[in-house]
Amino acid sequence: MSTAVTRRSLREQDPPVGAPAAASSPRRRPARLLADLLLWIAAIGGVVCIVLVILAYTAGITLIMFKTGSMSPTIPAGSVAVVQRIPAAEVEVGDVVTVDREGELPVTHRVTTIVPGATDAERVITLKGDANATEDPFPYTVTSVRTVLFSVPGIATVIVAMGNPFVLGGITVAAAVLVVWAFWPRDGRRRERMPT
């Protein structure tokens, strides 16, 4: 009874006497390692994006960018904060929250006072930026706010640049080239012929 011959068993056999050794250019190995590293980085980036989308829909977690330094030094200008939407009833004095304003950009400041609103779910809150000398001019009536979980300084410019159509197009083309290059068959590979 003969044993099955597989490609793996053929590769593991010693080459015939006088046969040239399989081509293994030292230049190809670092290139292959670089391709693998870049593919892993792209895969991790993709997983992070998927996790962020899931968190945005299930837990109300999103990102906000700080253009001004009104929350310095706690959150300097150019920071990105991770925020989560919570009911206004859960807000406490001292929390840093983002309040949406109709027709204007949202404001992110620290809560200084909380007063019950017209309903059980409503609160009237007063905010003040850590770098500001006075409280915001008007209180905000809210039923929910986005509370700041944590912030990362200095990456807002990177995220804004990623939104540029030319940058997005370049990243897409580079990713496509990387995937094609990593999985393209190599001419230098030895082709084994399966026995009939």
Q: Whole-angstrom Cα distance, residue 128 to residue 137?
A: 9
Element (H, E) at 7: helix 7-12
Chain centroid offset of residue 78 CA: 17
Q: What is the pLDDT of residue 7?
A: 56
**10-residue stretch averages of pLDDT, the chain, 196 residues long:** 59 58 57 79 84 84 89 92 94 95 91 94 95 94 94 85 80 80 65 51
Q: What is the pLDDT of residue 72?
A: 92
Q: What is the pLDDT of residue 141?
A: 95
| pTM score of the predicted model | 0.63
DSSP 68: S
Q: What is the pLDDT of residue 162?
A: 76
Provide the 10 A C-beta neighbour count for residue 85. 15
Q: How many residues are present in the chain? A: 196
